Structure 1
């Protein structure tokens, strides 16, 4: 049976992370997380971590946007937009302050009870990430995070606590946020401090193996405790293009994508691929595999793939030539066909459709776009108006390409959650001025402001997208019934073709390949009835959409 169009129960919403929105970093028994010792940075200044909390320093996560106290008001905004889901994360250190305790913090559990209850009251389905850059600071300092195998058990205990407590409230779960980011950011993802030396990859991939085990154990526990729930993995997806058709560039991009997909391969297939094992062996990396690990991975395969999509990357084998010559954020080659954001991120809506097709072709399990968004500087007028047409353009173009992937390509997609529906602290830079939301929050990069919320123009556009289940972003039809058409199908045996198509004996793809429809006649010159006119027009519009 073919997966058809956008389902009526498609999940529309937004995505948040506890460390970037909640605040209340030391209230109600919460312990420090790795995010709580990160200072603010900027587009040109990298964020730094401190050894514990240093007096006089500004830590963006400590207050963030105070979602901890404002969540009821913010959820009302989300409900007004039409959300039927909201992705949030549970701060691990709010439940287990140090991470290795035997008993959880009841006040922390109660907060998420209240949050989920309020969401469900508004018919907003919780989509919950277990670990979103919020590892307890104590585990990082005492154990070097997931480099130490003991953290596998600590995470499993935390996950089981969450599953049991919220079994009646949460149907959709994710294990680790953007786990493939461990390669470049092992501290934020896994609490690992890895020296940049010859042992860097050994250290990071050791931690990754432990995270795979922890995630697999969580998946197995979720299936046992909440059989009706779905639990997925989550990666940051970079859509890779070859800079040229030069074979070296094509192979370079192919290898880049394989490294990117290494993380999903393990979590979806329950094993390391031969290619990954060969690659690690070539670089002298030995995974800390012990008896039983392979069985754990096999029994902990995820139900779906969640991913973030912000940009594409253009890969060239001539890496050194691209440094300093317009390469993008991740040192890819400059792509002259794609514009970039204020922070240098390529804006590539078509890349989202390419990404959806790539992932679905590779894994054939449901997908979930759990992050997609644009960080930009917003101007607010004296009467609190924010005209963010750049965000509206980004949103509508990406949703349009997403719909094509579902409607035209048959990709099985669970939902779409915009990052972020309200302005929050940007994790990459620690800034507030890098704004993603449909709702403006009055706070600046130095922590000053009233925290008042104001609706942006994009709020109403997303509201309409959700109301119409995405139909409002469809490109305007070029052909309409009974219009004076200047360009129409001309093909030998038109009536016979129409009859075959109407009987389902010829697909539009076969028609396109077999005849390569030429458009140069008027529709009213053909002796066809209204139904056949509709069929021709539908074919024209569908083929042009391809």
Structure 2
């Protein structure tokens, strides 16, 4: 019978831009995420993730005091980190995934020396984790870049971003390597192909390149920056491990037509190719051929082939939320690499936000990645968004979340039995935070309820949900009853 490894890293995940808050404290500069405002729309509007045009950005700056910018508030971890980490410890967390705000350390991204208040804040957070034997899993960049770099360089389109980012990541490695064992360079590095503003901090309409060329040029810069960071990490950290991350979307053929199967294979190749590069150290033939066919002309970074080869990661990590079906029929075709798709799988239950629930798809993904890469795999995001209701006696009964996570943990356990080397599982938004999809608190993922609404009203007090106690027992028994 399959078992979770004795050293399996149980935990949960957050990001600085969605959770930390304190956007104007401790010397922090604004990030490009701080200019994403809440726009009311139907929950099932399949518009994810948020994209911001230059026109919208200018409007947000002009009316900065009039609009609602939830990412600036987050869940107020900046002031409540001791309380929150104590709650994670009560659940028995082995690891806590969080990210560092680049603009909290280097407010514009151009500074040579960091803001000392920001440096000390993260020391305090890591020391608090260590107090409870919680291993930090740190994402170096979870989308957010200093907004100055968006305005002055058009974000990751500019190759100067590589040098600035590597200056930042070298500092992180040197400063925190004794407190942090596990690192991820970029969160969901493939998301730039779905939202150029979110994933790249840039406006494609301001580029002199065609939109798709601009996006893949920026992605190339991110891949180089990641590889240079990984190489430096391996040269300067004795015991740590560094990984990559993609938003993994398992695709199925819409029918058993060979044309649908081929279209699905092409979509899966496109979804995987950033991990192919970061694990194997080179661009796959399929993506180079795609570039040629679509006239995507990349300005290759000097010595990029050697850089990629020398900067391969130790483990591959993924977010996993849902699966998709792919058709080759002209009236059903959707953009290659799209994260949100309109074709629905009739075999899947659908969440309140229109995402198909497919635990078996996670098992398929883990087996596929094991065969493809042969490195440890870390599921660093997975979870169920729901309209949680708090009762008069301050309880939150979220059996639906328990069932969702239980099913996905069972799929992971089965994949381990299949021979997959799975390092751990950190469910998304372990304490409620601002959802990235449409900048709202209403879309809740956590084991802990945060008393705040989409407009920032509320006490921000924390209340454990039923899933809090369930997950505590899962960790205590190392998933024996899953």
TM-score relative to the length of structure 2: 0.94
Q: Does 1:174 align with 2:184?
A: yes
For residues 347 and 27 of structure 2, the distance between their equivalents in structure 1, rounded to whole angstroms, comes to 51
Q: CA deviation at 1:445?
A: 1.2
Aligned to 1:454: 463
What is the rounded CA distance, in whole Å, between the counterparts of 1:196 and 1:460 in structure 2? 50
Give the C-alpha shift of residue 331 in structure 1: 2.3
Whether contact under 8 Å (2:85, 2:129) holds in the other structure is: yes
What are the ranges of 5 or more consecutive residues in structure 1 without an aligned counterpart? Answer: 474-546
8 Å CA contact retained: 1:315, 1:332:
no
Distance in 1, matches of 2:311 and 2:387, equals: 42
Specify which of 14, 22, 34 is matched with residue 36 of structure 1.
34
Does 1:267 pair with 2:265? no
Paired residues for 1:333-348 under 5 Å: 333-348=343-358
Assess if the C-alpha contact under 8 Å between 2:194 and 2:339 holds in 1: no
The residue aligned with 2:389 is: 379
Give the conservation status (yes or no) of the 8 Å contact 2:157–2:217: yes
Deviation (angstroms), 1:225: 1.4
Shift of residue 6 of structure 1?
A: 2.0
Q: CA deviation at 1:227?
A: 2.6
Q: How many residues align?
A: 466
For structure 2, which runs of at least 5 residues remain unmatched after alignment? none
Distance 1:453 1:50 in 2: 33
Equivalence for 2:228 = 217
CA change 1:119–1:35 in 2 (3 A) is same
Give, in angstroms, the shift of residue 205 of structure 1: 0.5
Question: How far off its partner does 1:332 sit?
Answer: 4.5
SS in structure 2 at match of 1:311: strand
Q: 1:57 aligns with which of 63, 67, 92?
A: 67
State the 1:470 CA deviation.
0.9
Other structure's SS at 2:331 match? helix
Give 3-state SS (helix, strand or coil) of 1:336's partner.
coil
Q: Distance in 1 between matches of 2:85 and 2:301?
A: 46
Matches within 5 A, 1:466-505: 466-473=475-482
SS of corresponding position for 1:361 = helix
Give a deviation string over 1:197-235, Cα, whole Å, max 9, x none. 981110000001110100001101111111311100000
Give the conservation status (yes or no) of the 8 Å contact 1:86–1:125. Answer: yes
The answer for the alignment partner of 1:388 in structure 2 is 398
- Alpha-carbon shift at residue 186 of structure 1 (Å): 1.6
Q: Higher relative contact order by CA 8 Å / sep ≥ 6: 1 or 2?
A: 2
Aligned to 2:481, the other structure's residue is in SS state helix
Could you tell me which residue of structure 1 aligns to residue 211 of structure 2? Answer: 200
CA drift at 1:292 = 1.4
Instruction: Write out aligned runs for 1:9-408 (5 A).
Output: 9-44=7-42, 47=50, 48=52, 50-51=57-58, 52=61, 54-195=64-205, 199-318=210-329, 320-321=331-332, 330-407=340-417
Q: Residues 380 and 152 of structure 1: is their aligned pair in 2 closer, same or farther, counting only changes over 3 Å?
A: same
State the alpha-carbon separation in 1 of the partners of residues 101 and 233 from structure 2.
18
For the residues of structure 1 that align with 2:457 and 2:74, how far apart are their CA atoms?
11
CA distance in 1 between partners of 2:319 and 2:330 (Å): 25
SS at match of 1:164: helix
* Rg comparison, structure with higher value: 1
Distance in 2 between residues matched to 1:274 and 1:65, nearest whole Å:
43
1:440 and 2:449 equivalent?
yes
Q: How far apart are residue 50 of structure 1 and its match?
A: 2.9
CA distance in 2, matches of 1:319, 1:332: 14
| 3-state SS, counterpart of residue 440 of structure 2 | coil
For 1:182 and 1:226, locate their aligned partners in 2 and report how far apart those are by CA, in whole Å.
29
**Distance change (3 Å), C-alpha of 1:319 and 1:95:** farther
Deviation readout 1:426-464 (Å, 9 max, x if unpaired): 011111110000100111111110101111111111111
Does residue 434 of structure 2 align to residue 425 of structure 1? Answer: yes
For 1:6 and 1:442, the matched residues in 2 are separated by 34
User: What is the alpha-carbon distance in structure 2 between the residues aligned to residue 116 and residue 188 of structure 1?
Assistant: 27
User: Please, what TM-score do these two structures have when normalized by structure 1?
Assistant: 0.83
Tell me how far apart the structure 2 counterparts of residues 259 and 196 of structure 1 sit (CA, whole Å).
Answer: 25
Question: 1:523 maps to which residue?
Answer: none
CA contact (8 A) 2:278 2:312 kept: yes
User: Conserved in 2, the CA contact under 8 Å of 1:39 and 1:50?
Assistant: no
